[in-house]
Each structure stands twice: as C-alpha cells, then as structure tokens.
Structure 1
C-alpha cells in the first residue's frame, strides 16, 4: 500500500496537468506556425538537406588535398633527375618552363 500512494499521486498530478495545457482557441488552428505548416515543414527540410549537400560538395572541391595533376608529378620527376645529375641546369630550366 505504501508504494501505491506515490504512484497514484503521480497519476493524479499528470491527469491534473492536461486541463492546464488545453488551448481554448481550438487547439493549434490559430497558431502562426500552422498556417501552411504542412507545406513549409517538408519544404524547409528538403531545402536544409540540399544546402548540406551543396556545402559538402563545395568543401570537397575547394579544400581537397588531392594532387593537383600530372604537371606536379612530372615536375617532381624532373627535380629528381636534376638532383641525381642526369640532366644539367640548362636542360632542367628548359623543361621546367615547358611544364609550367
């Protein structure tokens, strides 16, 4: 019986709270957010998802750490050949100008 009293008291408190939250003005019918809410809710969610995807693509394109292309690789090979002494300075400068 001692454990039943708090349960009944809690149930009575919850039941008493329902009339306090009731809106006498026909529920949410007059709430400004409900005017066209069935259209704007999904529309805004779709817009938010599109903005997220666009931001992710922008970040991937502009902040990628991928190699810039074959020119960088060719220039690296040219520098290695120059460092090993396979080509002289004049040939290195000529080929570097062609690659850039």
Structure 2
C-alpha cells in the first residue's frame, strides 16, 4: 500500500510541479484574473445593452470576455485552470484560448477556431505536449459551447480524481494499521530487529 501511495504521489508531483512553479512565481495572478473577469463582465453587459458592437472589439477585449465566461463556468477553480492551460500551451496559447472563448461564447464569432499554425508555442513547437493537447482541444471546439464546458469539466474531474485517490490510499493505509492486533505489531517489530528477544517477551506478557 505504501509503495502504491509513493508511486501515485510521485506521478502527481511530476505532472503538476511545472504548473505549481508557475503559480508560485506569479503572486499577482489571482488579482489579475479577477480584474480581467470584471473587465469581461463590463464588456459583456455593454454588448447586451447594445452599447458596444462585436466589430469594435479588440483581441484584448475578447480575452477579458473569455476570462469572464471561464470564471462563470469554473468558479474558484478558474486560476488553477489558467495555470494548467499555460503549462500545456505556453502564455501565448493560453491567451489565444481565452480570445477564442470570448469570440464564441459572446456570439460575435460562433465558429471561431483555434489556429493550427502561428507562433511555435501556440502551434506546439515550444512544448512537445502541445501537439496532442491542442488537437484534442480543437476536437472539443467542434461541439460548440458545450465542447468548451466539457473540456474544462474533464480537467477538473482529473484533478479531483487524483486528489481523491491519494486521500483514499492514505486513509486505507492508516485503517490497516489500526486493525492490526497489538501482538501482531509487536511481532513485526521483533522481526524487523527493532526490539530484542528479552524485550519482546516482556512486552508480550504485558499484552
């Protein structure tokens, strides 16, 4: 059980450590995301009130819209999702994803697609992981708005599943130790050489 737990923890650390490093290196990222969500909300309200038109919006506006819509779908997990997207796609790729989300979910460009070429990071040249992941995300985008939602939920479920597995394995290991009889524990200590025969016999009498 301990071996499995160590393997799981090692795998999780290997997979998530780059993302955690990015999160730790950017202490203001949470505030930045909150500001962009607020900006996106204001732009969305102006679009609905006909105070703004789609053709007048810039990529920065669509980025804020994408941040707003993503925040509505993911809640408190928004910053974690941004960190993971940046790790997989690079900074430019993560920003491009928000632009596409803003265009699609606002209705300004319902058929907006992730570019298959462009900067090395967005296209996959800067990160060997990007080729498969970017192709998968293009596949999700083919399902429209629901595709984006399910892609985000998919990653959230993976993260929650790993956390739940670690907790389960840890609690199972502790429960097994509690279920062992004192005599069994004493025998194991004697077998490992932690106590000598004399001490073993004395403690055995006490039990």
User: Would you say same fold, with TM above 0.5?
Assistant: no
Highest CA radius of gyration, 1 or 2?
1
Give me the TM-score of the superposition, normalised by structure 2. 0.24
Give me the TM-score of the superposition, normalised by structure 1. 0.41
